[in-house]
Amino acid sequence: GDSVTQMEGPVTLSEEAFLTINCTYTATGYPSLFWYVQYPGEGLQLLLKATKADDKGSNKGFEATYRKETTSFHLEKGSVQVSDSAVYFCALRELTGGGNKLTFGTGTQLKVEL
Amino acid sequence: DAGVIQSPRHEVTEMGQEVTLRCKPISGHNSLFWYRQTMMRGLELLIYFNNNVPIDDSGMPEDRFSAKMPNASFSTLKIQPSEPRDSAVYFCASTPSQLAVVNEQYFGPGTRLTVT
């Protein structure tokens, strides 16, 4: 079945540091890929998405590129802020077979310190 | 636009009691999902509905859990009887037509359930 693997957290960085959170996936078809963010005490929000190979999703300074050859969708940001402290979830949705089910990774907690 | 609405936001109950969590999806969305989030297990999909019909309930932990969607604008998740291990944050999410190529899920704020 489909699966998503994320790097384990917590990831602790100083403000303005470069961020990478690794995500790899296993899927039988051609999935769409997503990054969601969860701030403390809130529900998940979509951060960015990509629908096909080589697409780059971007939002709020975050980027991720859909790499079919390495089945990866790593999240990056050039300069993190304290306000980026949150839990980040990688997810996929298969386009074949119908349905709207997303498969989520386990989440990676990011802590940004001054 | 109102997002996904969940109630109550917090629920504290005693072991053995019935608990009902409620969700109102975004108007016009055809799919609805119930998730449970704990530190130990992370985010787990419990059940999801398309057009008010349950499609996949394989994530429902046991018979004590049940979910209904009587119409397009309302869903409930019931736990009877509740146990301390059910303590978690329960999220509801909705998404537009399943025919769309890319469907992001819109999450509610969650219900934090504590069973003592």
Please tell me the distance in Å from A9's CA to the nearest CA on chain B: 13
- Output the tens digit of pLDDT for each of chain B's 116 residues: 689 999 999 999 999 999 999 999 999 998 999 999 998 888 899 999 989 999 889 899 889 999 999 999 999 999 999 999 999 999 999 988 655 556 688 999 999 999 99
State the Cα–Cα distance between residues A14 and B101, nearest whole angstrom.
Answer: 38
Taking an 8 Å cut-off on Cβ atoms, the answer to whether A93 and B103 are in contact is yes
Taking an 8 Å cut-off on Cβ atoms, the answer to whether A44 and B107 are in contact is yes
Is residue A57 helix, strand or coil?
strand
Please tell me the distance in Å from A95's CA to the nearest CA on chain B: 7
For B25-84, give the secondary structure using H, E and C.
CCCCCCEEEEEEEECCCEEEEEEEEECCEEEECCCCCCCCEEEEEEECCEEEEEECCCCH
Sign of the C-alpha dihedral computed for residues B59, B63, B67 and B68 taken in this order: positive
Q: Does the pLDDT of residue A91 top 60, yes or no? A: yes
**What pLDDT, in 10s, does the model give residues A37-67?**
999 989 999 999 998 899 999 999 999 999 9
Residue of A nearest to B112 (CA): A41
Q: Does the pLDDT of residue A96 top 70, yes or no? A: no
What average pLDDT score do residues A4-32 get?
93
Taking an 8 Å cut-off on Cβ atoms, the answer to whether A43 and B107 are in contact is yes
